[in-house]
Structure 1
Amino acid sequence: SSGTDAQLAILMALGLGPGDAVITTAYTFFATAGCIARVGARPVFVDIDPATFNISPAAIERFIEEHCHSGPNGRLVDDVGAIVRAIVPVHLFGLCCEMDPIFKLATQHRLHVIEDAAQAIGAEYPRSSGAEPAGTMGEAGYFSFYPSKNLGAAGDAGLIVCRDAVFAEKLRVCRQHGMEPRYFHHSIGGNFRLDEIQAAILNVKLPWLDDWSAARRTIAEAYRAEFTRCRLLDHVALPSEPFRDRGLTNHHIFHQYVIRTSQRDALRQHLTDKNICTAIYYPLGLHEQECFAYLGYSGGDLPETERAARETLALPIYPELPLESVRYVVDSIAAFFCPTG
């Protein structure tokens, strides 16, 4: 019924709960960590790669080395006594995380890998076996079809994919109150069913997804060309594209086009004055949110997350965005950084 419910169902089906910990990023939409907390597990936040904004494999490894030890049955135990059970990497803004080092750590420490692909449907990651789509590499992955997503329903909708048939059946039962057969409940689940109207809308729109992804890449290329033309690359950092030359069709699907600048707030006001809509994803890291104060994080704990929250700005991007509008946006940014008087 939503990407949030999809994640919640996965965590419930895996049996995650009180006494468990799940490693994830603090630079993401709230639901990623909110679902972990809702099942009673403890979110463990690690820092991001400052170029990609995705979770840093090096930060995961550092947390394990500095804050964990081997516990019962060889399971990883953190410094507050929780058993570390899983990693939830978030493929943020349409770019896949660096999955190979994450899988290496997960295998070494017996951790589930649950992919948050809510913003990355169709994005690809280069593996030795070839391109693999976001959400299909881990034990399970989940997608969101909220209307603002690259593939959006008319309302909330979500999807789970997994590799194991037995686990898939557990998920099917979980999405309908743990009921199988009717009125016989073997476990506690929820009402996570996708309604028929949303499914029908998505079924009609799905064949257009590849074209829409290609259009977004074209617009991203136009942005890059315009920023280069206006000599703005010393003033703003453009979205990182680490897999650009790896032979992938969808190395990045640009759910958002996010730049960064130390003058973010002033630039945003300037663009607002020019009738250009922008957005901030996300203004405060999850580790600093009031509802997670009990976890004991404070400002300075995740410096790259906190810097991204201060400096990032999402510019307009959607498949139908005219290229002349891209030029207007970048010319307006140039007027901010390089006023002619």
Structure 2
Amino acid sequence: MPFIQVPYFSFRDFPVGIDCQVEEAVLRAVRGQQYIIGEEVSVFESEFAAYVQADTAIGVGNGYDALVVALKAAGIGAGDEVIVPANTFIATVNAVVQVGAIPVLAEPDRHTCNLTAAEAARRITPRTKAIIPVHLYGQACEMTGFLRLAEQHDLTIVEDFAQAQGARYKGRPVGSFGRISATSFYPTKNLGALGDGGAVVTSDPALAAYTKMYHNYGQQQKYYNQLIGINSRLDTLQAAALRIKLQHLDALNNERQRLAQVYLRALQGIGDLVLPITAPDCTHVYHIFNIRTKQRNALQLYLSEQGIQTAIHYPVPVHLQEAYTWLGHKRGSFPVAEELAETSLSLPLYPGMTETEQKAVLAAIHTFFERHG
């Protein structure tokens, strides 16, 4: 096969015509000249809430703010403990600290890479106030156990579905299970904006009312402030783009799933590769197609030499980050999270990826393992 450059991610016009639709929508919003909390924002919020099967969605500035605002709305604060997976992106844990709470790390499942209720249950103490199941890589967490823990221990479930818009558990969209949930519209997400953006989702009227005030300076009416709030708002131009992309989200996810199936079929039984496993009753929308191998670094280097870009999610687990030494953990504290960090490699996968590009990735991986066993 001739040498071909394959990016890790690329913005493609998929489905064909979506780029033009987004450009036209943004241009209409520009001409409307209502750039902050415009009509496009409120309409998108309604449409996204309906998609997630929740009562309310509130657009905010980014996914990190969505987590902070969700925790704040749920009353999580100083001294409260919040259980989070040890292998999540740092934003999840930072948000806990931002509201004054204490992150309590828990091991992920070594097969799905997601936090499980059984592992979370081991970390519950009298100070535990919330659990954040992260739907990692695009796979829905198994939510029934988390909901049971919430009821048994009077806990708040705050879903982080930044990587999994459109994924489902038992037929129900992620983001609709938690008392309040948070997501990101970072451009490379399955539902991506043209810059930063995020949303808080809830069906609790009290939490919705708080969030609507808190994210906009703590006011319901301009200059009349009931809360000490912040400024974190989804802007009108991003909402206009997201409205178009939301219409195509299922098609975009279907294409990700199709590409993932090609990888799964072609990479079965190759070397020591561990391929993604989807749990029962869960769907996976493959924001990230993550493989694992003890030869991760050598494989990544070889693929790079062949013009194939990859990524590592995430090379350093939370407990080994310099910023979190104060939690008191050390190497060996979370062996599963550490193993994932040392062996995980994310392959190129994006809507619009060509057959030629994917064949190049597969051929290079096969060649590597033929040479290295």
Q: Which residue of 1 aligns with 2:274?
A: 237
**Is residue 2:193 matched to residue 1:161?**
no
Q: Deviations over 1:306-334 (max 9, x none)?
A: 10000000000001111232222121111
Q: Deviations over 1:111-168 (max 9, x none)?
A: 0000000000000001xxxx11011111011111100101111100111110112211
Distance in 1, matches of 2:372 and 2:167, equals: 40
Q: Secondary structure at the match of 2:187?
A: coil
Q: Which residue of 2 aligns with 1:319?
A: 351
User: Which residue identity is paired with 2:68?
Assistant: L
Q: Which residue of 2 aligns with 1:71?
A: none
Paired residues in the alignment total 313
Whether the 8 Å CA contact 2:81–2:129 is kept in 1: the answer is: yes
Residue 248 of structure 2 is aligned with which of 199, 208, 214? 208
TM-score, with length taken from structure 2: 0.81
**Is residue 2:200 matched to residue 1:175?**
no
Query: 5+ residue gaps in structure 1?
Result: 69-75, 77-82
Q: Which residue of 1 aligns with 2:225?
A: 185
Q: Secondary structure at the match of 2:366?
A: helix
Report the Cα offset of residue 185 of structure 1.
Answer: 2.0
Residue 169 of structure 2 is aligned with which of 96, 118, 125? 125
Distance in 2, matches of 1:211 and 1:36, equals: 34
User: Which residue identity is paired with 2:276?
Assistant: P
TM-score, with length taken from structure 1: 0.89
**Is residue 2:179 matched to residue 1:139?**
yes
Q: Which residue of 2 aligns with 1:47?
A: 107
Q: Secondary structure at the match of 1:317?
A: coil
Report the Cα offset of residue 193 of structure 1.
Answer: 0.8
Q: Secondary structure at the match of 2:261?
A: helix
Query: 5+ residue gaps in structure 2?
Result: 1-60
Q: Which residue of 2 aligns with 1:115?
A: 159
Q: Deviations over 1:5-50 (max 9, x none)?
A: 1111111122221111100112111110001101111000000001
Q: Secondary structure at the match of 1:335?
A: helix
Residue 302 of structure 1 is aligned with which of 334, 338, 343? 334
Distance in 2, matches of 1:51 and 1:288, equals: 22
Report the Cα offset of residue 242 of structure 1.
Answer: 1.8
Distance in 1, matches of 2:72 and 2:117, equals: 25
Q: Which residue of 1 aligns with 2:192?
A: 152
Distance in 2, matches of 1:323 and 1:159, equals: 34
Distance in 2, matches of 1:222 and 1:180, equals: 50
**Is residue 2:124 matched to residue 1:92?**
no
Whether the 8 Å CA contact 2:104–2:123 is kept in 1: the answer is: no
Structure 1 pair 274–43 and aligned structure 2 pair: CA distance change class (3 A): same
Q: Secondary structure at the match of 2:248?
A: helix
Q: Which residue of 2 aligns with 1:224?
A: 264
Report the Cα offset of residue 340 of structure 1.
Answer: 9.5
Whether the 8 Å CA contact 2:219–2:227 is kept in 1: the answer is: yes
Distance in 1, matches of 2:112 and 2:217, equals: 38
Residue 82 of structure 2 is aligned with which of 22, 25, 33? 22
User: Which residue identity is paired with 1:239?
Assistant: P
User: Which residue identity is paired with 1:267?
Assistant: L
Report the Cα offset of residue 284 of structure 1.
Answer: 0.6
Report the Cα offset of residue 182 of structure 1.
Answer: 2.0
- The structure whose RCO (Cα within 8 Å, separation 6+) is larger is 2
Q: Deviations over 1:279-300 (max 9, x none)?
A: 0000011111111111111111
Distance in 2, matches of 1:264 and 1:191, equals: 42
Whether the 8 Å CA contact 2:212–2:220 is kept in 1: the answer is: no
Q: Which residue of 2 aligns with 1:332?
A: 364
Distance in 2, matches of 1:241 and 1:180, equals: 43
Distance in 2, matches of 1:108 and 1:149, equals: 34
Q: Deviations over 1:234-281 (max 9, x none)?
A: 4201111123xx5x7xx1100010000011011100100001000000
Q: Deviations over 1:63-97 (max 9, x none)?
A: 23xxx3xxxxxxx2xxxxxx211000100010011
CA RMSD of aligned residues (A): 1.5
Point out 4+ residue stretches in structure 1 off by more than 3 angstroms.
none
